[in-house]
Chain A
């Protein structure tokens, strides 16, 4: 689908500009026919990035797949807040099996659909960062390696929020969690090597990998829609701020998601068959302090004596991303 370019003359706005676009170009959520696959009435916290991300992602996938979607959910916030029995919020066929097996369950559903001649039914697996980058990683890699026809969506809120904010392999350095306390000589999470699952997904050579953010919802919808045009294993990694776990205001969810992108800490890109094919340039580059400061999980960096070295190391991570993905037009910003 050709994307219609819209010019924004009002600076500072992040509205999606539906009124200016053709009917077909408007966002899925703006369409009265949207499926509300994750219906209202669920029990997510106020300002939950995951609920927002899942709602946009699944509705977009539904539209792309002519409403023929089955979703397999890992254990976690999304599973718990959407299905306190018998009040399910899912308007689509949905299964939750275990914490670490969503990708494998999806493979099974896909195989059953194939053998029953229902290849029109598309399968989505979804989970949080714990269910994806940690406990479900083996099954995820297996699904990638076999190139099973499954779209896996990771809603990354950077810790085990459902169990009370414990560290996962997606928790950023220096962040305070219940298991990386803000005490001692090096408060918060350690500076490890990180575990960049989008890059690991790309290393499998699968047809489509993307990162997305709830601050860029049209972009998120487009990436899901694009993923649905492809057969084989696909992976979308969405950064979803968690007000509870990050110690942030519910009304700051979108702002923080946007700052994560604008600092360079969470680069937005798409990759096909292991190669990056598109990146989203940063429009207003901001220093990492702006992203870190509103979050209580980083409060220990900004006490009476700010942890300048730690902040500098985080800034270096952001700078590295900007260089690597060429996120900033150096001629304009240089």
Chain B
């Protein structure tokens, strides 16, 4: 059914249609509207047969989810940013135990400096925890991916993170198609756990594993993700059959067939990228894009194919691997084997800085002329940085740099008036 709704609420509605049995909630911006929506549905009786548990921390949220999933309940939670880091130990544990929990990440920066706005530093920090990571481009896709996520998680017995850009998607209102219960029921069968805590058939879960078997257990986790490389496109095709629209998959290319320059990015920024590509295409530039929807497992083969005829690769990264640069670009290295091209890493949109069409256009034009540095920070205020470096040189106790930069920029704004 078409309706004008908020991204978070659409996600909540789709999660509810998946008939979750246990939902754990702990507030953190910007995912709060999702669990608020679900809590309301449980309390009002609209979401029956579901336990909604308010816990005391994100660590507890995922721990409750671990217990519930291990006892055979379809389990959901959501978090963001500091919350994801606070539950980090449980994030690895849920994956290691092979528990098909679905968790939304309302992508947000990590402090310090504390910042509530969008980038991908939070989910990127957990990229190797063993969870499948899906990145939504639009709110329709964010909603749809949750339905696919439960199916994917439960078929493989592995947890899935659905990463949704904080505020840009979570708080945006737009026209979305919310599926019917009958559609979701047709797509998502009841949860049949592979392992379950049941007095009728006692098992020990989470035993200590020594060197003699640890590698094999870890290999199996990897093997599951490799299977997901086949399963994710299949589930996306089946989704289209039931729901009548494209959502999900490993990657999504845009005007890439004959493109000599390919832009790769994750999440909502792909919308802006496509607009800029349209403009440049009209001017005759052979430029296209590939959105990575599944970052874990990493779709190396699919990306290799799309990049095999390209001369130039621009990776837009909403996270910074401090001390080296880009995370996505380094993951892409494997996919580039045997391909000779110019690769540019662009760190953009950190802490919610808007990635504008104008900035992207300027960036792509420079890339097309091969004028980009291997690592570029989009819209970096170089002058403010130089002034802070000068202050640090001038005196030992130069103070906290975040506050200095803020004061510097405020002063700059005043003097401009």
A positions within 8 Å CB-CB of B: 67-70, 72-73, 79-80, 83-86, 88, 90-98, 100-101, 104-116, 121, 138-139, 141-142, 145-146
Contact = CB atoms under 8 A, between A and B. Distances in A.
Contacts of B89: 98, 100
Contacts of B69: 108, 112
Interface in B226-247: none
Contacts of B210: 84-85
B67 A72 contact: yes
Contacts of A67: 199
**Leading 8 A-B pairs by shortest Cβ distance:** A108-B67, A112-B71, A104-B63, A101-B63, A142-B56, A96-B206, A112-B73, A105-B67
Contact of B67 (A83, A109, A115): A109
Nearest to B201: A93
Contact of A109 (B54, B68, B201): B68
Contact of B207 (A96, A111, A115): A96
A78 to B, nearest CB: 12
Interface stretch (B45-53, B128-136, B271-279): B45-53
A83 B208 contact: yes
Is the interface on chain B under 10, 10 to 19, 20 to 34, or 35 or more residues? 35 or more
B96 to A, nearest CB: 9
B70 interface: yes
Contacts of B209: 85
B21 interface: yes
Nearest to B55: A142
B358 interface: no
B150 to A, nearest CB: 16
Nearest to A83: B207
Given A85-B207, A85-B208, A104-B63, A92 B199 contact: yes
A82 to B, nearest CB: 8
Contact of A95 (B49, B50, B197): B197
A204 to B, nearest CB: 12
A90 B205 CA distance: 10
B213 interface: yes
Interface in B1-53: 21-22, 24, 49-51, 53
Nearest to B21: A115
Contacts of A91: 202
Contacts of B22: 108, 111-112, 115
B280 to A, nearest CB: 50
Given A88-B207, A115-B50, A138-B60, A93 B66 contact: no
Contact of A139 (B51, B59, B73, B199): B59
Contacts of A113: 71
A98 B70 contact: no
A88 B54 CA distance: 33
8 contacts: A69-B199, A91-B202, A95-B205, A97-B67, A101-B90, A108-B22, A112-B21, A115-B51
Contacts of B204: 83, 88, 90, 93-96
